[in-house]
Amino acid sequence: MFTLFHHPFCPHSRFIRLVLGEHGLDLRLVEERAWERREAFLVLNPAGTTPVLIAEGRPAIPGAGIIAEYLDESHGAAMGERRLLPSGMNERIEVRRLMAWFNEKFFEEASHPLVTERIYKRFMREDDGGGPPAADVIRAAKANVRYHLAYIGWLARTRNFLAGDRLSYADLAAAAHLSAIDYLGDVPWVEDDAAKAWYARVKSRPVVPSAAERMAGRRAGVADLCGPRLLTITGLVPRMLRNAEGCAFRGPLRCAADPGPIPAWGLVGPGSAEQRTGRCCASPGERCTASGTRTRTGDS
């Protein structure tokens, strides 16, 4: 039996829950609000971040990457063909590269700002950083999602799963971060059919958002509008967004400026300066104003 200190909307915690689910391991969940910096939790992980795994007879295991490596070392061989970190050296490098891509880069550029602005800030006290969501941060993060989705689509078109032939940690890390923001209606699935089809395949696996996640979403005021009765009601709601499963969410308006076509992968990577600074909806040389119109950079 493992114990996982997690938060329902922490994408790294989601990743580890998916990994433990694939391994078929029993799990006790303890919800941790990392921003409260609880002393007993800081003793387990002085970095104060979730997830932290407690395995009998081991020191506390902090961090998604370290937990994933530990689980592969302790339980991977027993998975046989279904091992999530493949045995070949080259394949392992590619899985680790993509696992880091999602747990670090995607997190920094997309899932962390979106989850923080839309959910965590509602729970946090003002002196802990709580307050209303910052529209410019959300806009920048949503623009970053488009580039990441294009990359995922490119991987899904060229391989069976993201890192190769088989399901791996790369797929679970990507799905965990995407699912946190898909829940919020922040993934423009219509832009990439290959990414959408890959996600549907990974999401069809047995591990789904827990009741705790749904509850946390409701407490945060993010209505989970799946279900026939509510779907008919939302038919009347303007600015409705749908996630990959066709669930409806009320979402913020996208920036009114036309973001233009996503460049072919490799020309512009996620995380470029333009994307990070909130000039997300505009082409290079332009910026997007608060009212959603474009101006040339340097214009007053």
Ligand X SMILES: N[C@@H](CCC(=O)N[C@@H](CS)C(=O)NCC(=O)O)C(=O)O
Question: Among the candidate windows 9-17, 220-228, 252-260, 278-286, which touches ligand X by CB under 6 A?
Answer: 9-17
Using CB under 6 A, pick the residue from 27, 33, 38, 48 that binds ligand X.
48
Task: State the Cα–Cα distance between residues 153 and 11, nearest whole angstrom.
Answer: 20
Task: State the Cα–Cα distance between residues 230 and 247, nearest whole angstrom.
Answer: 10
* Cβ atoms 299, 161 nearer than 8 A: no
Nearest distance in Å: CB 61, ligand X: 10
DSSP 217-269: HHHTT-----SHHHHHHHTT-SSEEE-TT--EEE-PPPPSS---PPPPTTTS-
Task: State the Cα–Cα distance between residues 163 and 166, nearest whole angstrom.
Answer: 8
**Scanning residues 127 to 166, which ones bind ligand X (CB under 6 A)?**
none
Q: Which amino acid is at 107?
A: F
Nearest distance in Å: CB 47, ligand X: 7
Q: Is 243 in the site for ligand X (CB under 6 A)?
A: no
Q: Is 34 in the site for ligand X (CB under 6 A)?
A: yes
Report how far Cα 112 is from the mean position of its chain's Cα atoms.
8
Question: Among the candidate windows 43-51, 167-175, 194-202, 211-219, which touches ligand X by CB under 6 A?
Answer: 43-51
Task: State the Cα–Cα distance between residues 160 and 136, nearest whole angstrom.
Answer: 36
Q: Is 216 in the site for ligand X (CB under 6 A)?
A: no
Using CB under 6 A, pick the residue from 63, 76, 164, 185 that binds ligand X.
63
The residue to which tokens 């009998």 are assigned: 56
The mark string for 83-122 relative to ligand X (x by CB under 6 A, - otherwise) is --------------------x-------------------
Using CB under 6 A, pick the residue from 2, 8, 11, 121 that binds ligand X.
11
Q: Is 10 in the site for ligand X (CB under 6 A)?
A: yes
The residue to which tokens 């302790």 are assigned: 74
Question: Among the candidate windows 63-71, 83-91, 194-202, 252-260, which touches ligand X by CB under 6 A?
Answer: 63-71
Query: Which parts of this chain interact with ligand X (CB under 6 A)?
Result: 10-12, 34, 48-51, 63-65, 103
